[in-house]
């Protein structure tokens, strides 16, 4: 018998709005708080970034480099027990709405203390290098 999982797409989309809001405020700590304690970033051209403090530093560096806004579009969410896998599209903008990067992303969400948090976050640019 197949287990029916509730659709958590709206919940993930709400968490993405929280990410966008914290990013737009320049609140790297607020962004990092959306990740699990042992969460990981897997950015292109960089080593794995592990843990909330390192994630905060990474996003602070992006903000310091001129990234002002992050827009996240959820395309699909698949739920597997206490794990959700999100496929999406991102756009990073600088001053005046200038697009600094855009592409696709995959996020693994995990329940931590009863709340959905980002466990693994990987993205890659759709721009040619």
Under-70 pLDDT residues of the chain: 1-6, 128-129
State the pLDDT at residue 126: 87
Could you give all domains of the chain from N- to C-terminal order, each with its CATH number? 9-123 (3.10.450.50)
Average pLDDT, the chain: 92
State the pLDDT at residue 12: 96
The 10s digit of each residue's pLDDT in 5-40 is 468 999 999 999 999 999 999 999 999 999 999 999
Q: How far is CA 34 from the centre of its chain?
A: 8
The C-alpha atoms of residue 80 and residue 75 are separated, in whole angstroms, by 17
The C-alpha atoms of residue 88 and residue 76 are separated, in whole angstroms, by 7
* Ramachandran quadrant class, 58 (left: phi over 0; alpha: psi -120 to 50; beta: rest): alpha
Total number of residues shown for the chain: 129
Task: Supply the pTM of this predicted model.
Answer: 0.91
């Amino acid at each position: 018998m197949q287990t029916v999982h509730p659709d958590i797409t709206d919940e993930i989309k709400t968490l993405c709005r929280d990410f966008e809001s914290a990013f737009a405020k320049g609140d790297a700590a607020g962004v990092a708080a959306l990740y699990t304690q042992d969460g990981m970033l897997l950015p292109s051209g960089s080593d794995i970034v592990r843990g909330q403090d390192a994630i905060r530093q990474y996003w602070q560096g992006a903000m310091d480099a001129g990234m002002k806004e992050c827009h996240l579009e959820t395309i699909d969410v698949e739920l597997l027990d206490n794990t959700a896998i999100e496929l999406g599209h991102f756009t990073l903008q600088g001053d005046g709405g200038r697009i600094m990067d855009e592409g696709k992303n995959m996020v693994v969400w995990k329940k931590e203390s009863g709340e959905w948090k980002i466990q693994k976050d990987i993205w890659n640019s759709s721009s040619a290098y």
